Amino acid sequence: MRTHLFIFAAACIAALTACNDKASSPDIESASSDESSNHSWIPESSSEQDSPEWSSSSIPPYSSSEHILQALSSSAEPYVDYSSSIEESSSSEVIEPSPEIVLDKDGFATVADVYKSLAPDEKAVFIIRHSEREDDVALETELTTNGIQMAQDLGATLKSEEEFSYVTSGFVRTNETANQISKGRGEATLPKLITNYDITGNWFLKISADSLAKQATALGLKGSSIELMARWAYEGGYPETFYEMEPRAQEFMQAVILKNLSKWKRVTIMVSHDIFVMPLAVFGSQKKVALKYHEDYHWINYIAGLAVIIDAQNNLRYIPVKGAESGVIDYLAIYMAEHKIYTK
């Protein structure tokens, strides 16, 4: 049996300045223009900056067939339905999924169900990973034919007369995802995209993507950077590498979501990358969503993420969402299918 199927691309060098999609001229916004803020690393004249994303279309490395069998025989943590839980955080955020929302076994609801459940006085920001892309992580990497269809199919489930806002990281694949969702909704013209540099992927990182991959290798993690990130998201630690997840996520809600909410429509589609969306989904589910790559090889799927719902008093609640059939990519299942490994 082969030692592994594919090697993960652990990091990429990509431009941070917006690369305008041919169909749109994005606006630009960020949480702060202060040079001492988190966004001071955005170069004024250079177009190059580390901005990582890991290939979720590739199957992660496994050390041996024994490693696979060990994972198969390990007892999985039972699924806990948190749809009726209510918790108030220190920032007065309320985590209270709507009672009519049904979560799947991995802890995700459909984007369409959450949209349809919104009260008239509620706003929603759907923060999702872009649709399926080509096998590259450069700024200019485009969606695959399947990725285009996935985004259009998601848009078709959100058809209404209501206008949406579309916020992207400025990467071509995030712009294309937003445009194709808009097309699937039947919107007459392509949307005016808003570029936000806070969602390019570095929000939770204190170090560069290249350093993150090197650290994972030094620790002997078989899943490289994504295993390291999953361990941090669920177990904490690594203070020199990552910000503390909960306060950092809450800071994003205040500095980006609530700050810009008045400029956006009632519903906003925010398209980003796995390195940004995965921690938010873990945060919003109180670590109950099934993205424990370090235990069961689950990673965030394309067009999956977190719905942030805001009521008239600016209280927030969170629901992990999926735009495709599943909110996770199950790499163990892919490996088993490729190698014809069956369990009773």
Quick one: pLDDT band at residue 136, thresholds 50, 70, 90?
Answer: confident
What is the SS3 assignment for 282? helix
User: Beta strand 164-168 with 194-196: parallel, antiparallel or unpaired?
Assistant: parallel
Over residues 202-221, the pLDDT tens digits come to 899 999 877 888 899 999 98
Domains defined for the chain, CATH in brackets: 13-338 (3.40.50.1240)
SS (H, E, C) 222-276: CCHHHHHHHHHHHHCCCCCCECCHHHHHHHHHHHHHHHHHHHCCCEEEEEECHHH
83-87, 194-198, 240-244, 290-294, range with the lowest pLDDT: 83-87
CB 195 within 8 Å of CB 28: yes
Q: Which two tokens stand for residue 37?
A: 């803020």
Percent of the chain topping pLDDT 70: 70
What is the pTM for the complete model shown?
0.76
- Single-letter amino acid, residue 150: M
Return the pLDDT at 127: 98
In what helix (H) or strand (E) does residue 173 lie, and over which residues does it extend? helix 172-185
Strand partners, 299: 329
The pLDDT tens digits for 14-66 are: 222 223 333 333 444 445 333 233 332 222 222 233 333 443 333 344 333 34
Tens-digit pLDDT profile for residues 117-133? 999 999 999 999 999 99
